[in-house]
Amino acid sequence: MRTLIRNAQIFDGTGSPARTGAVLIDGNTIAAVAYSANALASEAADTVIDAAGRTLMPGMVEAHAHLTWGSSVEKIYHQFMLPPEELKIAAWRNARVLLDHGFTSAYSAGALGDGIEVDLARAIAAGETPGPRLIPSTLERSPEGAEGVETGDVFNGRGPDAIRKFVGFCKDSGVRSLKLVISGEDALKPGSAADIHYTDEEMAAAGEAAREAGLWIATHAYSPDAIRLALNAGARIIYHASYADQAAADAMVAAKDTTFYAPSPGVSIAALEASPPPHIDMSHMKASAAERMALESKLVPALKARGVRILIGGDYGFPFNPNGRNARDLQIFVEHFGYTAEEALTAATGLGGELMDLPVGLVREGYLADLLLVDGDPTQDVAILQDKSRLAMIMKDGALYKTPIEIAA
Ligand SMILES: [Zn+2]
C-alpha cells in the first residue's frame, strides 16, 4: 500500500523552514521525501493526496501525558479518582482524544491505576482502540511520609530495597517508564515544592535498578536538590524544574545528551485562567502557577540556548486543563518562553521523537509515517494546531486515521 502526498508545504520536524514538496509512504514507513513543485510526480501510488499547499508535518509527541487523569475536552470529571470501570473508559477515550488532536505519540508521566496503561498501550498497538504510541507507566511513586501517603507498600515503601522492589514490579508488569515524585507540589500543599521525598541512597538504587531493568525514569522535580537527585539517577525526563538555581541549570546542561526537560506550563496557565465554582479554592494553585511561570520564563529560554532538549506536555487531564488541549503548550512556549514557531514545532515533533526513542517526529526517509496535514501554516501561527478541524489528515503508522475530505468520498 503506497500513499503519495504531493504539493505540500513540508515542515520536517528539524526546525528548518517549510518547503514545497512531496512524500511517498510505503506501508508504515516514509519511503521518499522530495522537494519541488512536481516532486515524485511519476511515482505510482494506490492513493494520491493533493495537499493543495497545506502544511505536512510530523505527528506531535506529548511528553507529559496523563491519560488516566479523566478530564478531556469531551468530558469533564470533577472528581480526580474514578471507579475502575470509569477510569478505563476515560483513559481509552483520552487516548483517542489525543490522536484526534494530532498527537501520535505520548510518554506517560504516571497513571492513576496500576496496569491500566500497559493494557491501553497494548490495545493501541494491536489496533483495538485508537490512540498515540504510548510509553506506559504505573502509579506515580511517592514514598511513605509524602503528603497523603500512609502505607509502605511497593508504591511507597522506604529505603533502597523498597525502591528496587518497585522497579522489579514495574518491569514484571510491562511498564516502560516509572514516575518518581521527588519534590512536593505547591499547588496541592503550599510551600512543599522544596520538600524532598527521596534520599540519595534511594535515588541511586532507583537509577541502578532501572538501568538494569531497561526502564526509564520520569521525575517530578521542582527544587535544585530534587533536580540533582533526578540527574544522579539518570532520569530520562525532568518535569517542572521551576526552582532550578544556577548549579541545577548547569547540571541539566551537562546531562543534556541523556535527560530531557518538559517544563509543563499548560497546567500553570490554565490554573491562572480558571474561574472555579465558589466551593473550590484555587488560590494556592494560582499563586504557585504565577510564581512558576515567572521563573520558567527565564529558565526555559536560558536552557534552550544552552542546548537542553525541551519538550511540550503540560499535565493535561485536570477539569480546568483537560486532555485534548495539549497543543496549547506550543503557543505558551511562543508567548512565554521566547520560542519561534519553528522551535515550538520542533519541540513537539523532532525532539519528542528523540524522547520516544523511535523513528518518529521527522518527515524523513525511513521514519515511521506519523503525519499531519494542517489547513494553514503552523510555522506562522502555532495556535491553529489547537483547532482539530484544521487537521485535514492524521496518519499513524502509515494508516489514515483521519482521511482528507477530498479522498474520503
Ligand atoms: Zn504530571
DSSP assignment of 49-101, as one string?
EE-TTPEEEEPEEEEEE-TTS--BSS---SSSS--HHHHHHHHHHHHHHHHHT
* Residue 29 CA, ligand 1 centroid: distance in Å: 32
pLDDT at 144 over 80: no
Higher pLDDT, 406 or 291: 291
* Residue 314 CA, ligand 1 centroid: distance in Å: 7
Gap between the Cα atoms of 375 and 398, Å rounded: 20
For residue 147, what pLDDT is reported? 59
The model's pLDDT over 241-259, given as tens digits with 9 standing for 90+, comes to: 999 999 999 999 999 999 9
Region 132-148: what's the mean pLDDT?
85
Name the DSSP letter for residue 389: G
* Residue 325 CA, ligand 1 centroid: distance in Å: 15
* Residue 313 CA, ligand 1 centroid: distance in Å: 9
- Which residue bears the cell 526555559? 300
pLDDT at 305 over 80: yes
* Residue 240 CA, ligand 1 centroid: distance in Å: 9
* Residue 69 CA, ligand 1 centroid: distance in Å: 9
User: Residue 407 — very low, low, confident or very high, per pLDDT cuts 50/70/90?
Assistant: confident
Region 334-358: what's the mean pLDDT?
98
* Residue 97 CA, ligand 1 centroid: distance in Å: 18
pLDDT at 348 over 50: yes
- Which residue bears the cell 520536517? 12
Dihedral sign for Cα atoms in the order 174, 347, 197, 252: positive
* Residue 154 CA, ligand 1 centroid: distance in Å: 20
User: Residue 146 — very low, low, confident or very high, per pLDDT cuts 50/70/90?
Assistant: low
* Residue 131 CA, ligand 1 centroid: distance in Å: 19
pLDDT at 38 over 70: yes
Gap between the Cα atoms of 244 and 207, Å rounded: 21
Region 202-217: what's the mean pLDDT?
98
* Residue 238 CA, ligand 1 centroid: distance in Å: 10
* 183: β partners: 196
pLDDT at 162 over 60: yes
For residue 409, what pLDDT is reported? 46
Region 226-243: what's the mean pLDDT?
97
Name the DSSP letter for residue 388: G
Give the CA distances from residue 334 to residues 102, 241, 340, 391, in Å, rounded to whole numbers and listed in that order: 19, 19, 6, 20
| 298: its cell numbers | 527565564
* Residue 252 CA, ligand 1 centroid: distance in Å: 19
The model's pLDDT over 210-222, given as tens digits with 9 standing for 90+, comes to: 999 999 999 999 9
What percent of the chain shows pLDDT beyond 70? 98
* Residue 142 CA, ligand 1 centroid: distance in Å: 13
* Residue 267 CA, ligand 1 centroid: distance in Å: 9
* Residue 319 CA, ligand 1 centroid: distance in Å: 14
For residue 135, what pLDDT is reported? 98
pLDDT at 143 over 90: no
Residue 377, number of CB atoms within 10 A of its CB: 16
**Shortest CA distance to 213 belongs to which of 176, 162, 180, 255?**
176
* Residue 53 CA, ligand 1 centroid: distance in Å: 37
The per-residue DSSP string of 282-308 comes to -HHHHHHHHHHHHHHHHHHHHHHHTT-
* Residue 93 CA, ligand 1 centroid: distance in Å: 19
Name the DSSP letter for residue 384: G
* Residue 42 CA, ligand 1 centroid: distance in Å: 48
Region 12-36: what's the mean pLDDT?
98
* 217: β partners: 178
* Residue 110 CA, ligand 1 centroid: distance in Å: 7
* Residue 181 CA, ligand 1 centroid: distance in Å: 9
CA atoms within 13 A on the CB side of 276: 17
* Residue 343 CA, ligand 1 centroid: distance in Å: 23
Is the CB of residue 60 less than 8 Å from the CB of residue 397? Answer: no
**Shortest CA distance to 46 belongs to which of 3, 13, 103, 11?**
3
* Residue 175 CA, ligand 1 centroid: distance in Å: 17
Region 378-386: what's the mean pLDDT?
98
* Residue 10 CA, ligand 1 centroid: distance in Å: 32
* Residue 24 CA, ligand 1 centroid: distance in Å: 37
* Residue 139 CA, ligand 1 centroid: distance in Å: 11
* Residue 326 CA, ligand 1 centroid: distance in Å: 13
* Residue 108 CA, ligand 1 centroid: distance in Å: 9
For residue 191, what pLDDT is reported? 78
For residue 151, what pLDDT is reported? 60
* Residue 185 CA, ligand 1 centroid: distance in Å: 10
* Residue 219 CA, ligand 1 centroid: distance in Å: 9
* Residue 184 CA, ligand 1 centroid: distance in Å: 12
Gap between the Cα atoms of 295 and 303, Å rounded: 12
* Residue 123 CA, ligand 1 centroid: distance in Å: 23
Region 115-129: what's the mean pLDDT?
98
For residue 155, what pLDDT is reported? 81
